[in-house]
A and B are shown apart, each in its own frame.
Chain A
Amino acid sequence: MSLEWVITILTNNWPMFLRGAGMTLLISIIGTLIGAAIGLIIGIVNTIPMPERGVKRLFQKTINFLLSAYVEFFRGTPMIVQAMVIFYGSAMAFGIDMDVFTAAIFIVSINTGAYMAEIVRGGIISVDKGQFEAAQAIGMNHFQTMMNVVMPQVVRNILPATGNQFVINIKDTAVLNVIGVTELFFQTKSVSGNNFRYFESFFIACVLYFVMTFTITLLLRKLERKMAGPSNYSMIGGLPMQVVTPEDTEHKIKE
């Protein structure tokens, strides 16, 4: 490989790479956030206790069926195929002329949503049954129980898996080049199509992808640690010797 070529390509095309990486990051961030929201909503809906009879029961059964059909369908088909079907299909079937950016966000969100729904389901199952019971025993209804007790624990439990999904999205947005989204892979293809230095161009893309994913990984680790909270507490009105503040422990760990 020639380092000169890498430098030349960068000097001539850096705005394209940068815009590509920016687009990749933007689509993955929005897609992951909307996907996570979809997953959380599906997770909560699935936990609503089933009424014993009546129209409500039928309604809820239908909703649950549609949701699981959605999850299974999007988990069971490749995103690259979904991209084609949704982008061209929406124009053909419904006459909707989606712009590629909207289509990209839509595809990534809905795909992530399907995965996140499963992750959230696992997260809810992993919350101890006693937590639900204690919340109900003090009079919370289902919604209050979920919002004040269960979901905060679920969010913390699923944070690593969500971060993982984010990293996957950064990589997988590359497939969106098939519908002409100007993300990093698409831009690199354009660059290399002009200079015919495929290896050097894609090497640059490779480095950029890794920088993005690794930065996200590090940031999420930090967030996880922050959410775990201080490992000690301070007693109120206790003896001075018993007072242990988070700062104190941090000192001790560093020493």
Chain B
Amino acid sequence: MEKVIEIQHLSKSFGTNEVLKDIDFSVSKGEVVCVIGSSGSGKSTLLRCVNLLEKPSGGKIIYNGKNILDAHHNIHSYRTKLGMVFQQFNLFNNHNVLNNCVVGQIKVLKRKRQDAEKTAKKFLHVVGMDQYVNAKPEQLSGGQKQRVAIARALSMEPEVMLFDEPTSALDPEMVGEVLKVMKDLAKSGLTMLIVTHEMEFAKEVADRVVFMDKGVIVEEGPPEQIFNHPKKERTQEFLKRTLR
């Protein structure tokens, strides 16, 4: 399968704290990869390194056959190929729902407003938020905000969607609506890299599950293998703790 992003020997330190150690990992076209692991294991940092919100300390990130960590590589155009969904939504507070999905298309992708609005409305429909185009972020519930955030990322028509615990900041009754949207996206063939604590969700939608612990990838494989027949002791312990 064609690899969209390939990470080689990636490392990341904050001062003397080595948070990621020699990570090798790739995402193929159309694949849904879920990253699981206990708190502080470096999942968010890995995701943030992939779209360069954190600058990796070492290693390579290969996209389209080129190492985007090479100097003079245009990281802004690289980032448009990755859609990021944050735990805290981070909708632009100064824009309404529609403009949240439009501003990047116009300013970064240089699309015409008319086309941008059409695209935005299409994806707002996908996440079931097309009725709320005029609403301001502060007027929405958490689940609605996160669905708009997903539409905002989709509106850039990225090659990969990155999700960093998209449901962790939500009240329990809103988790379902966001997971439902994500399941639909997974079925549509979108390439997705998802950090999540929702094990049932991972079991259901993931093509591959990656288990991280203390800055390294301990084990990866199809959900059936990771959840039912984990090979490594650390994976077994983690699952025992979380699936109880």
Residues of A within 8 A of B (CB): 128, 130-131, 133-141, 144, 148-149, 152-153, 156, 229, 232-238
Contact = CB atoms under 8 A, between A and B. Distances in A.
B26 to A, nearest CB: 21
B155 to A, nearest CB: 9
Contact of B90 (A134, A144, A153, A229): A134
B230 interface: no
A133 B86 contact: yes
B130 interface: yes
Given A235-B131, A236-B130, A229 B136 contact: yes
B53 A234 contact: no
B89 to A, nearest CB: 8
Contacts of A235: 131-132
A236 B131 CA distance: 5
A136 B53 contact: yes
B241 interface: no
Contact of A134 (B80, B92, B108, B134): B92
Contact of B156 (A130, A139, A229, A234): A139
B45 interface: no
Contacts of B103: 148-149
A153 B94 contact: yes
Contacts of B130: 236-237
Contact of B104 (A140, A153, A232, A238): A140
Given A134-B149, A149-B103, 6 more contacts: A134-B92, A137-B53, A138-B83, A139-B108, A139-B109, A234-B134
Contact of B136 (A138, A144, A156, A233): A233
Contacts of A133: 53, 86, 90
B51 interface: yes
Interface in B85-141: 86, 88-96, 103-104, 107-109, 130-136, 139
Contacts of A152: 94
B9 interface: no
Nearest to A237: B131
A226 B88 CA distance: 28
Contacts of A140: 76, 104, 107-108
| Number of chain B interface residues as a range | 35 or more
A135 B92 contact: yes
B147 to A, nearest CB: 15
A134 B136 CA distance: 16
B92 A131 contact: yes
Contact of A130 (B79, B80, B86, B104): B86
Nearest to A127: B93
Given A137-B84, A140-B76, A233 B92 contact: no
A148 B134 contact: no
A133 B152 CA distance: 14
Given A229-B136, A233-B136, A139 B86 contact: no
A8 to B, nearest CB: 54
A138 B93 CA distance: 15
A136 to B, nearest CB: 7
B153 interface: yes
A140 B78 CA distance: 11
B17 interface: no
Contacts of A234: 134
B143 to A, nearest CB: 16
Contacts of B132: 233, 235-236
Contacts of B139: 232-233
B98 to A, nearest CB: 10
Contacts of B104: 138-140
Nearest to A238: B131
Nearest to B134: A233
A156 to B, nearest CB: 7
Contacts of B107: 140, 144, 148
A101 B226 CA distance: 77
B77 interface: yes
Nearest 9 CB-CB pairings of A with B: A130-B90, A139-B80, A134-B90, A138-B104, A137-B84, A233-B135, A152-B94, A139-B108, A139-B79
A9 B136 CA distance: 55
A234 B84 CA distance: 28
A220 B184 CA distance: 48
Contacts of B91: 134
Nearest to B85: A137
Nearest to A129: B90
B82 interface: yes
